[in-house]
């Protein structure tokens, strides 16, 4: 049974709401759509923020659903479609077993860790989290929230807006974290697409200090970077101008380092499917043979230099969609019956979409091609949440089944 969903763009907020409600009504009558939905998802673009409270009130009054979660974004998305700007609204109506979810915010506490539902499942197993990017100490708050769910696994992102943002947790809010905690028996699978490819195999960090890597595998880190990037030895040992010309294309594409979670200390990742945490290379020092990155790093970590481009982004998005399909197939085999995707939430970075995939809506079309016409809503974020990490330039795709 699939979740009804609707999306539209209209300069008048009341008309946008009316169009979505009409589509939801039409879908709800179709065979195969869930009956009696009890959790609503709503994402809206920045121009609709002043009307967020009225939109939530209208959704509650029309659908009878009292629990709503969502956020504002610079852009929003739905199945096969992006709304990168303008006035747009996306809504999805989910159905979950009573007691298997709990909306939380600064004024609504999530279930205590260790609490159980009537069915005996963990009441606080995972959570969809929306965050206000203007909140102080946000990375620490995300880690703290991950510690409040049994899986240590969060998914979601940072809301967007021109000067401020809006979070929705049964009403319009600002500041902190909000969202919905799911019980352990809610069927969902989530994956993070980094959109990166490594130049070569991982290396062991053999000397580092704060955010500067001096040695990899006992060799100067800068020399290892040049070798991994395929820069010829004659260029590496040539003049500064020739070396700079060779490095410029890398810098334009974006040069990053992927930190392997298995060996990365504070970057240990408990989210299934997230293979590494990516951070920018912010500076190189040929004289010292050093590479500086946008994160602290310790001896013993394993890292790989990587870059992002359209080809890598497409391949990595297909990879996570394949993993999600395989997960559903495995669940179906275990249950002896096919497992259907009921709905999905996608949180993508503001820097992806057209900028990374070359065409508007191409990112969402790839997901639709891989997963079919699964009902999907989401937004373009100022940072993405996967596990207990705050990412950038990633896509976090979560499918309910």
Q: In the chain, pLDDT over 90 holds for what percent of residues?
A: 78
Q: Is residue 301 part of a domain?
A: yes
**pLDDT band of 202, cuts 50, 70, 90:** very high
Which residue did the predictor score with more confidence, 87 or 272? Answer: 87
Last residue of a domain, one of 257, 274, 308: 308
The continuous run of DSSP H or E covering 18 comes out as helix 13-28
> Quick check: is 248 in a domain?
yes
Residue 381 placed within a domain = yes
344 in Cβ contact with 66 (< 8 Å): no
Tokens 């747009």 — which residue? Answer: 88
Show the tokens assigned to 188: 């969902």
Q: Is residue 191 part of a domain?
A: no
- Residue 157 is assigned to a structural domain of this protein: yes
Does the pLDDT of residue 229 top 80, yes or no?
Answer: yes
Number of domains in the chain: 2
> Which distant-in-sequence residues (6+ apart) come within 8 Å of 140 by Cβ?
none
Structural domain boundaries enclosing 369: 5-186+312-400
**Which pLDDT value is given to residue 308?**
82
Q: Which tokens is 219 given?
A: 């060799």
Both 216 and 324 in one domain: the answer is no
Please provide residue 216's backbone torsions phi and psi, each rounded to the nearest 5 degrees: -125, 125
Question: Which of 21-25, 87-91, 162-166, 236-240 has the weakest average pLDDT?
Answer: 236-240
One DSSP character per residue, 108-157 reads BPPPPTT-B-TTSSBSSSEEEEEE-TTSTTHHHHHHHHHTTSTT-EEEEE
User: What is the SS3 assignment for 304?
Assistant: strand
pLDDT in tens, 265-319: 333 333 334 457 888 899 999 999 999 999 999 999 999 998 888 888 999 999 9
- Residues 208 and 250 placed together within one structural domain of the fold: yes
User: Hey, how many other C-beta atoms are within 10 angstroms of the C-beta on 233?
Assistant: 10
Cβ atoms of 201 and 207 within 8 Å: the answer is: no
What was the pLDDT predicted at 263? 38
- Write out pLDDT tens, residues 130-156: 999 999 999 999 999 999 999 999 999
- Alpha-carbon gap, residue 125 to 150, rounded angstroms: 5
Mean pLDDT of the region 107-114: 94
Give the number of other CB atoms < 10 A from CB of residue 327.
Answer: 20
Residues 212 and 161 in one domain: no
Based on the domain organization, do 25 and 53 belong to the same domain?
yes
**Of 155, 141, 152, nearest to 270 (Cα)?**
152
Q: To the nearest whole number, what is the mean pLDDT of the chain?
A: 92
Whether residue 224 is contained in a domain is answered as yes
Is 140 found in the same domain as 75? yes
Query: Given this model, what pLDDT does residue 120 score?
Result: 96
Whether residues 215 and 116 share a domain: the answer is no
Same-domain pairing of 232 and 104: no
Residue 73 covered by a domain = yes
* H-helix segments, 230-307: 233-236, 240-253
Residue 385 forms part of a structural domain: yes
pLDDT greater than 80 at residue 239: no
CA gap 23, 41 in Å, rounded:
15
Which of 308, 341, 357 finishes a domain?
308
- Please state the φ and ψ torsions of residue 387, each to the nearest 5 degrees: 70, -120
Cα separation, 179 vs 41, in Å, equals 10
One domain, residues 287 and 225 = yes
121 with 42, same domain: the answer is yes
pLDDT at 9 over 90: yes
Q: Is 144 found in the same domain as 13?
A: yes
Q: What is the pTM of this model?
A: 0.86
User: For residue 16, which phi and psi values (nearest 5 degrees)?
Assistant: -60, -45
321-374 per-position pLDDT tens digit: 999 999 999 999 999 999 999 999 999 999 898 888 988 999 999 999 999 999
325 and 286 fall within a common domain: no
Query: Which of the listed residues 287, 308, 329 is the one where a domain comes to its end?
Result: 308
Taking 60 as the threshold, does the pLDDT of residue 173 lie above it?
Answer: yes
The distance from CA 154 to its chain's CA centroid, rounded to whole angstroms, is 10
Mind listing the pLDDT tens digit for each residue in 37-79? Answer: 999 999 999 999 999 999 999 999 999 999 999 999 999 999 9
Same domain, 115 and 255: no
pLDDT at 262 over 60: no
């Amino acid at each position: 049974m699939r979740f009804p969903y609707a999306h539209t763009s209209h300069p008048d907020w009341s008309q946008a709401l009316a169009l979505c409600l009409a589509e939801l009504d039409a879908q709800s009558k179709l065979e195969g759509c869930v009956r009696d939905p009890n959790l609503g998802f709503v994402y809206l673009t920045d121009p609709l923020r002043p009307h967020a409270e009225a939109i939530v009130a209208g959704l509650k009054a029309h659908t009878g659903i009292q629990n709503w979660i969502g956020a504002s974004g610079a852009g929003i998305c739905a199945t096969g479609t992006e709304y990168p700007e303008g006035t747009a609204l996306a809504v999805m109506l989910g159905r979950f077993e009573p007691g298997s979810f709990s909306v939380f915010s600064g004024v609504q506490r999530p279930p205590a860790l260790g609490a159980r539902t009537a069915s005996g499942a963990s009441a606080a197993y995972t959570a969809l989290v929306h965050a206000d990017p203007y909140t102080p100490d946000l990375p620490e708050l995300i880690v703290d929230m991950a510690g409040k769910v049994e899986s240590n696994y969060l998914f979601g992102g940072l809301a967007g807006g021109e000067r401020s943002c809006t979070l929705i947790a049964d009403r319009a809010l600002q500041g902190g974290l909000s969202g919905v905690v799911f019980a352990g028996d809610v069927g969902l699978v989530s994956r993070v697409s980094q959109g990166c490819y490594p130049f070569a195999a991982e290396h062991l960090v053999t000397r580092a200090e704060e955010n500067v890597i001096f040695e990899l595998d006992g060799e100067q880190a800068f020399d290892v970077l040049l070798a991994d990037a395929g820069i010829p030895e004659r260029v590496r040992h040539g003049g500064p101008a020739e070396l700079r010309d060779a490095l410029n294309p890398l810098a334009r594409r974006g040069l990053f380092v992927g930190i392997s979670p298995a060996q990365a200390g504070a970057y240990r990742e408990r989210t299934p499917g997230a293979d590494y945490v990516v951070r920018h290379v912010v500076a190189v020092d040929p004289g010292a043979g050093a590479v500086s990155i946008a994160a602290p790093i310790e001896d013993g970590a394993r890292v790989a230099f990587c870059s992002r481009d359209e080809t890598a982004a497409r391949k990595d998005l297909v990879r996570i969609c394949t993993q999600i399909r395989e997960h559903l197939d495995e669940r179906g085999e275990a249950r002896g019956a096919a497992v259907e995707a009921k709905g999905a939430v996608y949180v993508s970075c503001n820097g992806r979409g057209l900028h990374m995939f070359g065409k508007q809506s191409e990112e969402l079309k790839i997901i639709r091609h891989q997963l079919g016409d699964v009902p999907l809503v989401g937004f373009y974020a100022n940072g993405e949440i996967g596990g207990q990490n705050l990412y950038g330039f990633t896509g976090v795709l979560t499918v309910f089944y």
